């Protein structure tokens, strides 16, 4: 018996596409049926945006479109044209991590880390809107994201810790600042 | 430079008189002083403030108060939160091709022909490979190599690999996938695991002279310890349950992906998110017919493993074959659906559990019969078949133990290893059985357990060597913190509380590849040059559990260095020493031990150098934060960098190699090595649930989770593992299930219908770490990755019983299943309204006091044994009046160990026992 499958839809051809990705204007030629996730990963250089399921169930591909969390695997790139797109790579300022990033490492919010970009993007949007959310509000914000490692508890802890940092107005130290001196106890004049 | 007052008062290092007043080369930091030692991290045995209720440990003198025992962020965490961590699909090499796999649409079929001509005509198609390109078999276990890169002759399940195609882009590859025409001859497939026990015209595999009858039995196990025939006469209470466990999938968030690249020198680099890069390395050499040194396996970041990335996979072979054919890098990334076709999840199982208790409340017998559904391939199944039995022989003392296990091939995606490998389902059956026994005896189930525990430094009925055991403390802690006595059997209808325990290996005593058998299980290399930073080479696969961090912590602790001076290189087989990988919860125990042994060599050299510089007494030297000094006179000492540079004179960088191998242990009967481990972890959970009696919906409200991990090297990660385990176990007990339809089709190969718990389903979890200070573990540590999963399933099942008075024997406990049971109970009891149901109540019998007294007595015994270095041997059976100092089978004939069933048993076998009705082909003389 020979297996027959349906032919694939023909590509509809390339179209120009402009959007701001993490503050940088990207002018690309994309297929007009392209999915935002594919454009971000394959053309806009955002490999931090992860593909987990391709059907909007896991939340790994979450990005911010004009500040709103969106599942990029269910978003046509054309929908995000001329928009401001923020991915996980756009959260830090130079070598100063966003508090939510720092707290995900400090509080165990990230284990294998594959779902982490999605969680970070979604919770940074939450904190932008509501700098001191309750646990219930945090849970509602991340209900569309699946994590298989942490059981979510330390993720909620991380968001709470980040919210404390944000409300106190502190910022995270530059990661390039000098590390431990192997020859301590000596004053260098 | 002006000195600040309080810094002068620090315990910090003072410059030794006569030393040059300028900074050493390589020092570029700005801290003026070492940090004072954190006395809270220094054990009592070394004069610190860390309480040691379990006594001292052999690594106590290596503790420098740096990082061991401190909640520590993962050392690779910053890559993950910035999006810079490269997982399988993030490896993008110039000139890459995208490959797709052509998979079987049939459950079981012969491949008659493959026509690739149309696909080759498609512009952009570069290479196509089929089974003809890779004739050699592979498999994770050397005894059961039964996989091909692509089908040779037969496909064995829907989704089995038939061919693969590499093209310039994904769309072309997908189109080419459609154009490859495969002709099949469909064979009768089997889907019910019970059919696997029967003779069949076309068994799914042919094991040659070892084939069992003409069946699909892949592995069968029979084990009897103790007087099994005597169980019936001793028992006053018996529990019997026939369980049906659905298969579950790891559902790691990262779908499998792989990139293969042959470099210009003709060497292959395979980039793959793998838990066991070394086995892939071996399998690639077999399949590609090249020596292992021609291959570099590069482990990328791994987006969740849980056992699902611990086989060498056919798609990894495919990418290497296509890259070889095309001369270009080839990337393969799975769709989520394909993850379910490769599966290797927990085996669907039918388990008959029989438990017996005698008049003193002792467990006088466990009889287990487990039939497990292996799907199309062997994978780790050989081991799983043993684990379903042998891993529930502890932590309780048992008078007699019977286990029959069989694993059959069916035409489903292969089952394999998954977190809690082989132990989860049967543990659930044992622990709910104990709950039922306690009910029959009218005693408290926690007291029943407390009165039957093995002591520290004992041997189980199957001869496993148990060293540290914190089971008692786990039970006592969860009992107290959950207010058990106020709640158990006392809550209103719909509210319930339940207990479950667990026991798991901390690394497998026998490595999978045990030839040549003196190879270590783990090796760690250190390299330190004049900059002072330590490069650690290890093959341990960091899969998010924190293995890089734990190895870095161990090295930092021994050398007295801050964690930021340690860098881990664990990715490539070219640079990393061979490590067996991240499975069977072996990494912390084995790799940290190897790391400590390597760091001790460097430490010795630094101490020697310090003696040479200062002339201090070597015995008096201690290591603090980046300094080595005399304990009696801290003014005499050198900085770490000074000692290092001295040690480097005339030889350059310091290098060291440390290794770990398990001590000899265990018995000699067939299968004795399965389940042997250098240490075991223990856990006890209490779960509180709410059940809606009108809908059957179960919600877990709170879990108290106590786990004995020996010593929590990184409490943050241990808690993460405990909570994460609860998540995964809760999925299996309440919602996760690989659902196969009437025709054997998998109905939910996606994350929408395969329901893993979301944040709203997760209860509050109180992780409780119990530290039993294992004598052989690194700084006392044992595993914490898999064991914590086991107790959550029975704890929830028992809590559901407490809430509504029905016991389920089928997982997951979905609302429809539970509601049917509730309705049936109402019908048999003649109750019209479910809300009028009575939830179970408990009135203690006389036995309760007996058990409480015995638990008390044993508690004292255990304390004495764990603190007393010179202890008597203790063999399982002492509770039943046998001599604890000799293995009972050596002195008592009735205790003989049987690994072949008797004719009496075969006359009336249980379900899996039917596997023993067939004769191996070699014994029939027809092959």
> Per-residue pLDDT tens for B621-659?
999 889 899 988 888 888 899 999 999 999 999 999 999
Third-level CATH fold of A14-90: Ubiquitin-like (UB roll) (3.10.20)
B442 — phi, psi (to 5°)?
55, 50
Q: What order of strands is seen across the sheet that includes strand B534-538?
A: B566-569, B534-538, B522-528, B654-660
Cβ neighbours, 10 Å, residue B595: 32
Bridge partners of B101, per DSSP, are: B164
Residues 6 or more apart whose Cβ sits within 8 Å of residue B33 = A184, A185, B7, B10, B12, B13
pLDDT-derived band at A172, boundaries 50, 70, 90: confident
As a whole number, the mean pLDDT across chain A is 91
Q: Do A149 and B304 touch (CB under 8 A)?
A: yes
The whole-number pLDDT of residue B14 equals 52
3-state DSSP call for residue B8? Answer: helix
Maximum Cα–Cα distance across chain B: 95
Q: Do B83 and A88 touch (CB under 8 A)?
A: yes
Question: For residue B915, what are its two tokens?
Answer: 């596997």
> Considering the domain A99-168 in this protein, what is its CATH number?
1.10.150.120
> Per-residue pLDDT tens for A120-164?
999 999 999 999 999 999 999 999 999 999 999 999 999 999 999
**Among residues B348, B64, B759, B129, which one has the least CA distance to residue A140?**
B759
The whole-number pLDDT of residue B926 equals 67
Task: Classify B695 in phi/psi space as left (phi over 0), alpha (psi -120 to 50) or beta.
Answer: alpha
Q: Do A88 and B90 touch (CB under 8 A)?
A: no
Of B74, B728, B759, Cβ closest to residue A142? B759
Question: Concatenated DSSP letters for B53-96?
Answer: TT---TTGGG--SSSTTS----TTHHHHHTT----GGG---TT-
> Per-residue pLDDT tens for B749-787?
999 999 999 999 999 999 999 999 999 999 999 999 999
| Residue range B459-477: mean pLDDT, rounded | 95
* Spatial contact of B196 and B435, defined as CB atoms under 8 Å apart: no
Distance from CA of A186 to the nearest CA of B (A): 5
Cα–Cα distance measured from residue B562 to residue B610, given in angstroms and rounded to the nearest whole number: 20
Q: Residue A175: exposed, middle, or buried by beta-carbon count in 10 A (0-12, 13-18, 19+)?
A: middle
Distance from CA of B521 to the nearest CA of A (A): 24
What are the boundaries of each domain within chain A?
Answer: 14-90, 99-168
The whole-number pLDDT of residue B39 equals 87
pLDDT-derived band at A22, boundaries 50, 70, 90: very high
Q: What order of strands is seen across the sheet that includes strand B181-186?
A: B154-155, B109-115, B181-186
More confident residue, B886 or B450: B450
Distance from CA of A19 to the nearest CA of B (A): 20
pLDDT-derived band at B34, boundaries 50, 70, 90: confident
Ordered alpha helix ranges (H), B343-470: 381-390, 424-441, 445-450
Cα–Cα distance measured from residue B518 to residue A41, given in angstroms and rounded to the nearest whole number: 46
Q: Do A146 and B182 touch (CB under 8 A)?
A: no
Report the run of H or E that residue A136 belongs to, with start and end: helix A135-141
Cα–Cα distance measured from residue B766 to residue B192, given in angstroms and rounded to the nearest whole number: 40
> Per-residue pLDDT tens for B719-743?
999 999 999 999 999 999 999 998 9
CATH fit for domain B520-660, picks 3.40.190.10, 2.20.28.10, 3.30.365.10, 3.40.50.20: 3.30.365.10
Of A5, A51, A104, Cβ closest to residue B89? A51
More confident residue, B639 or B301: B301
Task: Classify B674 in phi/psi space as left (phi over 0), alpha (psi -120 to 50) or beta.
Answer: beta
Q: Do B544 and A186 touch (CB under 8 A)?
A: no
Q: Do B30 and A181 touch (CB under 8 A)?
A: yes
Probe site for chain B from A52, A185, A188, A189 (most B CB atoms < 10 A): A185
Residues of chain B above pLDDT 70, percent:
96
Residues 6 or more apart whose Cβ sits within 8 Å of residue B480 = none
3-state DSSP call for residue A102? Answer: helix
Task: Classify B554 in phi/psi space as left (phi over 0), alpha (psi -120 to 50) or beta.
Answer: alpha
Ordered alpha helix ranges (H), B264-309: 277-288
pLDDT-derived band at B482, boundaries 50, 70, 90: very high
The whole-number pLDDT of residue A170 equals 87
The whole-number pLDDT of residue A181 equals 85
Q: In chain B, which segments carry CATH 3.30.365.10?
A: 442-507+679-895, 520-660
Q: Do B12 and A5 touch (CB under 8 A)?
A: no
Q: In chain B, which segments carry CATH 3.90.1170.50?
A: 88-357+370-375+899-927
**Among residues B195, B215, B196, B199, which one has the least CA distance to residue B207?**
B215
Dihedral (C-alpha) B62, B64, B66, B71: value to the nearest 10 degrees? 60
* Spatial contact of B466 and B459, defined as CB atoms under 8 Å apart: yes
Architecture of domain B442-507+679-895: 2-Layer Sandwich (3.30)
A34 — phi, psi (to 5°)?
-70, 145
Inter-axis angle of helices B792-804 and B815-829, nearest 10? 40
Cis peptide, bond prior to residue B812, ω within 30 of zero: yes
pLDDT-derived band at B558, boundaries 50, 70, 90: very high
| Residue range B612-625: mean pLDDT, rounded | 92
Residues of A numbered 76-115 whose beta carbons fall under 8 angstroms of chain B's beta carbons: which are they?
Answer: 87-89, 91-92, 97, 101-102, 104-108, 110-115
Residues 6 or more apart whose Cβ sits within 8 Å of residue B795 = B431, B498, B499, B500, B685, B686, B687, B703
pLDDT-derived band at A5, boundaries 50, 70, 90: low
Cβ neighbours, 10 Å, residue B171: 16
**Class in CATH terms, B88-357+370-375+899-927:** alpha beta
As a whole number, the mean pLDDT across chain B is 93
pLDDT-derived band at B668, boundaries 50, 70, 90: confident
Of B15, B105, B304, Cβ closest to residue A186? B15
């Amino acid at each position: 018996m020979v297996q027959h499958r349906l032919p694939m839809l023909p590509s509809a051809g390339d179209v120009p596409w402009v959007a701001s990705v993490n503050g940088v204007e990207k002018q690309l030629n994309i297929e007009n049926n392209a999915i935002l996730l594919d454009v971000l990963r394959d053309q806009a250089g955002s490999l931090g945006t992860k593909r987990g399921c391709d059907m909007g169930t896991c939340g790994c591909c979450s990005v911010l479109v004009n500040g709103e969390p969106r599942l990029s695997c269910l978003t046509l790139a054309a929908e995000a044209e001329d928009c401001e797109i923020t991915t996980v790579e756009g959260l830090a300022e130079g070598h100063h991590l966003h508090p939510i990033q720092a707290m995900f490492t400090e509080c165990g919010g990230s284990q294998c880390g594959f779902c982490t970009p999605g969680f970070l993007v979604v919770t940074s949007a939450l904190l932008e809107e509501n700098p001191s959310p309750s646990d219930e509000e945090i849970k509602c914000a991340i209900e569309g994201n699946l994590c298989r490692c942490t059981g979510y508890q330390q993720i909620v802890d991380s968001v709470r810790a980040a919210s404390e940092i944000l409300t106190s107005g502190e910022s995270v130290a530059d990661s390039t600042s000098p590390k431990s001196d192997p020859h301590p106890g000596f004053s260098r004049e | 430079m002006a000195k600040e007052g309080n810094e002068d008062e620090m315990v910090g290092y003072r410059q030794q008189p006569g030393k040059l007043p300028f900074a050493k080369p390589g020092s570029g930091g700005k801290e003026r002083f070492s940090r004072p030692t954190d006395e809270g991290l220094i054990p009592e045995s070394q004069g610190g403030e860390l309480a040691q209720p379990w006594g001292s440990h052999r690594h106590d003198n290596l503790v420098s108060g740096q990082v061991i025992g401190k909640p520590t962020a993962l050392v690779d965490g910053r890559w993950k939160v910035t999006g810079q961590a490269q997982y399988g699909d993030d490896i993008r090499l110039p000139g890459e091709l995208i490959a797709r796999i052509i998979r079987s649409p049939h459950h079981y079929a012969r491949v008659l022909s493959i026509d690739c001509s149309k696909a080759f005509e498609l512009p952009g198609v570069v290479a196509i490979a089929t089974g003809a390109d890779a004739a050699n078999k592979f498999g994770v276990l050397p005894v059961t190599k039964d996989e091909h890169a692509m089908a040779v002759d037969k496909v064995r399940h829907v989704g089995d690999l038939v061919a693969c195609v590499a093209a310039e882009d994904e769309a072309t590859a997908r189109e080419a996938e459609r154009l490859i025409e495969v002709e099949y001859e469909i064979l009768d497939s089997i889907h019910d695991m019970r059919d696997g026990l029967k003779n069949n015209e076309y068994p799914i595999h042919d094991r040659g002279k070892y084939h069992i009858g003409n069946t699909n039995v892949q592995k069968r196990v029979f084990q009897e310890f103790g007087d099994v025939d005597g169980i019936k006469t001793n028992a006053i209470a018996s529990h019997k349950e026939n369980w049906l466990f659905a298969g579950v999938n790891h559902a790691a968030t990262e779908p499998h992906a792989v990139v293969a690249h042959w470099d210009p020198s003709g060497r292959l680099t395979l980039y793959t998110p793998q838990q066991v890069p070394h086995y892939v390395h071996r399998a690639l050499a077999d399949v590609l017919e090249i020596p292992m040194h021609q291959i570099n396996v590069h482990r990328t970041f791994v987006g969740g493993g849980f056992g699902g990335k611990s086989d060498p996979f056919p798609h990894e072979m495919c990418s290497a074959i296509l890259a070889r054919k095309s001369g270009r890098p080839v990337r393969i990334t799975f769709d989520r659906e394909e993850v379910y076709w490769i599966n290797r999840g927990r085996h669907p199982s039918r388990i008959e559990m029989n438990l017996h208790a005698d008049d003193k409340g002792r467990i006088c017998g466990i009889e287990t019969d487990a039939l497990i559904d292996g799907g199309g391939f062997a994978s780790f199944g050989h081991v799983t078949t043993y684990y379903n039995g042998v891993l529930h022989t502890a932590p309780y003392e048992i008078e007699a133990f019977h286990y029959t296990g069989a694993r059959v091939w069916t035409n489903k995606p292969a089952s394999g290893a998954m977190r809690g490998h082989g132990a989860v389902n049967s543990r659930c059956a044992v622990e709910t059985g104990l709950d039922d026994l306690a009910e029959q005896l009218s005693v408290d189930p926690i007291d029943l357990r407390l009165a039957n525990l093995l002591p520290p430094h004992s041997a189980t009925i199957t001869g496993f060597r148990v060293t540290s055991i914190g089971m008692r403390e786990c039970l006592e802690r969860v009992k107290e913190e959950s207010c058990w006595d106020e709640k158990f059997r006392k809550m209103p209808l719909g509210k319930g509380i339940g207990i479950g325990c667990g026991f798991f290996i901390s690394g497998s005593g026998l490595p999978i590849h045990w030839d040549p058998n003196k190879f270590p299980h783990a090796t760690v290399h250190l390299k330190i040059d004049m900059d002072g930073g330590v490069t650690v080479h290890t093959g341990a696969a960091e899969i998010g559990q924190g293995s890089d961090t734990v190895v870095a912590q161990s090295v930092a602790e021994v050398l007295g260095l801050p964690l930021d001076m340690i860098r881990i290189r664990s990715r490539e087989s070219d640079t990393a020493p061979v490590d067996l990988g991240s499975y069977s919860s072996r990494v912390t125990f084995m790799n940290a031990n190897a790391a400590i042994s390597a760091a001790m060599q460097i430490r010795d050299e630094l101490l020697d150098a310090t003696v040479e510089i200062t002339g201090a007494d070597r015995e008096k030297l201690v290591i603090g934060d980046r300094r080595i000094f005399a304990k009696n006179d801290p003014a005499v000492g050198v900085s770490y960098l000074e000692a290092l540079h001295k040690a480097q004179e005339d030889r350059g960088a310091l290098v060291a190699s440390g290794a770990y191998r398990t001590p000899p242990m265990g018995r000699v009967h067939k299968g004795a090595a399965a389940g042997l481990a250098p240490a075991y972890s223990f856990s006890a959970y209490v779960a509180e649930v709410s059940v809606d009696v009108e809908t059957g919906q179960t919600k877990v409200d709170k879990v108290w989770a106590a786990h004995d991990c020996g010593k929590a090297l990184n409490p943050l990660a241990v808690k993460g593992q405990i909570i994460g385990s609860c998540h995964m176990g809760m999925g299996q007990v309440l919602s996760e299930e690989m659902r196969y339809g009437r025709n054997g089709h998998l109905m939910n190969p996606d994350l929408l219908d395969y329901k893993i718990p979301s944040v709203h389903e997760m209860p509050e979890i109180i992780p409780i770490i119990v530290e039993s200070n294992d004598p052989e573990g690194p700084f006392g540590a044992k595993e914490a990755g898999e064991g914590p999963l086991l107790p959550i399933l029975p704890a929830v099942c028992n809590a559901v019983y407490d809430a509504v008075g029905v016991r389920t024997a089928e997982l997951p406990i979905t609302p429809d299943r539970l509601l049917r049971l509730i309705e049936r109970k109402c019908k048999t009891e003649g109750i019209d309204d479910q809300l009028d149901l009575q939830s179970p109540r408990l009135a203690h019998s006389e036995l309760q006091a007996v058990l409480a007294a015995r638990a008390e007595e044993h508690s004292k015994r255990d304390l004495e044994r764990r603190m007393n270095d010179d202890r008597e041997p203790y063999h399982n059976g002492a509770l039943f009046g046998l001599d604890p100092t000799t293995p009972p089978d050596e002195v008592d004939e009735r205790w003989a160990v049987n690994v072949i069933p008797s004719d009496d048993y075969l006359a009336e076998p249980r379900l899996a026992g039917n596997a023993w009705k067939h004769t191996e082909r070699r014994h029939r003389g027809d092959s």
